Amino acid sequence: MKSKIKSGEKTEKSNGLNDSQLWKEFSSAKTSSDFAHHWLSLQCRYLPGVRRGVVVLGDPKSNSYAPAAFWPQGSKGSMNLTRVADFAIGQKKGVLRGGHSKNGSNGREGEKSSFMAYPFLIDEGLYGVVAVEACTSDEKETQQAMRQLQWGSSWMEVMIRRQFNQKTSPDRKRLSTVLELIASGLENEQFQKAANAVVTDMAVQLDCERVSLGFVKGKFAKVIALSHSAKFSKKSNLIRDIGHVMDESIDQKSMITFPPMDTQTPLVYRLHADLNHEHGGGGVCTVPLSSGDKVFGALTFEKTKKKRFSEQDIQLCETAAHMVGLILHIKRKEDRWILTKVLLSLKNFLGKLVGPRHLGWKMGFIILAASVTFFYYATWDFRIVADTKIEGAVQRVVVAPIEGYIQNTFVRPGDVVKKGDLICQLEDKDLVVEAAKWEGQINQYQGQYRDALAKYNRSELNILKAQLKQAEARLELIQKQLSRTRIYSPFEGIIVSGDLSQSLGAPVERGEVLYELAPLNEYRVILKVDEKDIAEVQTEMRGELVLTGAVEENLSFLVKKITPVSENREGSNFFRVEAQLLEHRDYLRPGMEGVGKINIGERKLIWILTREMINWFRLKIWTWWP
């Protein structure tokens, strides 16, 4: 193929043609070029992102091909389309390539495009190819477009087969008539307008005096549309008789023609004969409309007195009714009120549950009903989970009794001590020297006191006596300070904090904390409860605790106090809840951590599972509510 295709800017949509008009022109095309042009226009409308397209037709015997149609009309294609079409002709299979167009649809250079081509193969003979350029980078959309191009090529293959195999004129006329009726049904979005247009076109195309469309409502057919009549009285004798004729055909689920063409088939056509006698005279044909196994309506065709239904007419009526009836049925369902759709869907659903078959629906409903019943009545123990920590019930602080320097330490955190055990010793050299000094001073005052007593010097005796008491008091103070340099455990317990082994010789001030001690037989549990759960917690509630170091055993506790002060941790607020252990274990130590669960009581299982989600929705709705 040597045709050079240039880019064009005018699109088919600018011609002002809607889908129904394109379908009419497509169905009425006389030549292969017109057929290819209208077919390419329809394909490019429904393919996503199509920029331009070309249809190439030729003779597989001479192996010569030439462009038959371009889209947009007036454009000359592009070199990329030429290449992909040539490749598809050479390979005789669909081709999909990616590339960059020189000028995109919006004028930008380098825009990514996909080039697709699909050949027209009939009995292994290549009669042409269609090639399009689509501006899309989505792989899924590209594959869908390629699949649509493949499906659409069957129309061209039908046209080619009809042209080259010399299809008969009646078949072409029948196909053209059906396509026109389909286009008439698709042209109007509203059901009633589409139904009126279809039955009127049927009356004209099929040379009938009257065409009626009816749908089953309840147990009987109700006439919805009448040819050449936008409005009609639904209580008239004619409409009532047409409805009876439709019921006669629907009840037998067979097409009925009067006068009958096939006398061998046992069908009842008494009502058709009455309608033909009273309102027509030429003939009556009723075709039931069905979807699957369900009949939803019927089309009734009536001829004038001087005309009869031929075999070709009956075949055309049956084909048109089946093709157009389903389209109108879908439009009718889509054009109903939302409430009507909901009620009919509910009715259909209940019919599947109560009626025969549909075992999957029934099992699903039984499982759903059982689940709802179970969750409605089922209860479960509701427990609040919180991080816990073990602390001593009484925690004493050992402080430095005097100023001095650390001389020696005998314990470290975690050591168990008994009451009276030496745990620390302060430097006492200065105090010993000071005590010796005052002891010597006391001995000196005692000697002077004896000399003054021997001389009966009363005034000196009083002075010496006072100095002696002062020195003795000072010595007693020094001795007490010396005794305080040795620090003993006030009770039996465990050292919680205070590691002085790395602080030997370091000075300490009076009152400085040296150690923290906790008893071994009295503990309390500290639970950090999230603020979303704190409202459920009350004092005297029981719970269970599992420690990290002893996960095989549960410890019971009793809630004693709920503090009103919160603590922020990891973006959430937690309240401190104190509890008392109801049982003692030898392995318990202050500082051990674990997980505790507070027993709140029995609650609905569905409430337990959905509580947090419901509370979150309530908070969000309250936040968004004006």
DSSP string, 524-572: EEEEEEETTTGGG--TT-EEEEEETTEEEEEEEEEEEEEEEEEEEETTE
203 in a domain, yes or no?
A: yes
Q: Is the dihedral of CA 362, 363, 365, 369 positive or negative?
A: positive
355 in a domain, yes or no?
A: yes
75 in a domain, yes or no?
A: yes
387 in a domain, yes or no?
A: no
408 in a domain, yes or no?
A: yes
The answer to whether 182 touches 324, Cβ cutoff 8 Å, is yes
Question: How many whole angstroms separate alpha carbon 50 and alpha carbon 249?
Answer: 47
Structural domain count, the chain: 5
State whether 444 and 470 are in the same domain.
yes
Looking up residue 249, the CATH number of its domain turns out to be 3.30.450.40
| Residue 607 CB neighbours (<10 A) | 13
Residue type, 571: G
State whether 410 and 313 are in the same domain.
no
Instruction: Quote the tokens at residue 380.
Output: 């479960």
Q: Is the pLDDT of residue 165 over 70?
A: no
Q: Residue 383: what pLDDT? A: 92
pLDDT-based confidence at 100, cuts 50/70/90?
A: low
State whether 218 and 258 are in the same domain.
yes
Q: Is the pLDDT of residue 92 over 50?
A: yes
Q: Is the pLDDT of residue 306 over 50?
A: yes
Mean pLDDT, residues 333-358? 76
Residue type, 43: Q
pTM: 0.42
State whether 230 and 369 are in the same domain.
no
Rg of the Cα trace of the chain? Answer: 52
State whether 163 and 183 are in the same domain.
no
pLDDT-based confidence at 18, cuts 50/70/90?
A: low
Residue type, 481: Q
State whether 204 and 331 are in the same domain.
yes
State whether 59 and 130 are in the same domain.
yes
State whether 246 and 262 are in the same domain.
yes
Q: Residue 321: what pLDDT? A: 82
338 Cβ neighbours under 8 A, 6+ residues apart:
none
Domain residues for the domain of 581 are: 522-624
Mean pLDDT, residues 150-166? 72
State whether 144 and 242 are in the same domain.
no
- DSSP structure class, residue 558: E
- Look-up of token digits 């009276």: 420
Q: Residue 269: what pLDDT? A: 79
pLDDT-based confidence at 24, cuts 50/70/90?
A: low
537 in a domain, yes or no?
A: yes
**Mean predicted lDDT score pLDDT of the chain:** 80
Counting every residue written for the chain, the total comes to 626
Domain boundary among 335, 353, 388: 335
Mean pLDDT, residues 429-437? 84
Q: Residue 597: what pLDDT? A: 93
Domain boundary among 122, 141, 167: 167
Mean pLDDT, residues 483-500? 81
Question: How many whole angstroms separate alpha carbon 430 and alpha carbon 424?
Answer: 18
Q: For residue 373, with 0-12 CB atoms within 10 Å meaning exposed, 13-18 middle and 19 or more buried, which class applies?
A: exposed
353 in a domain, yes or no?
A: yes
Looking up residue 619, the CATH number of its domain turns out to be 2.40.30.170
Question: How many whole angstroms separate alpha carbon 617 and alpha carbon 623?
Answer: 10
State whether 247 and 311 are in the same domain.
yes
Question: How many whole angstroms separate alpha carbon 469 and alpha carbon 25?
Answer: 136
- Look-up of token digits 């286009």: 183
State whether 443 and 503 are in the same domain.
yes
State whether 195 and 162 are in the same domain.
no
Domain boundary among 490, 516, 542: 516
- Give percent of the chain with pLDDT exceeding 70: 90
384 in a domain, yes or no?
A: no
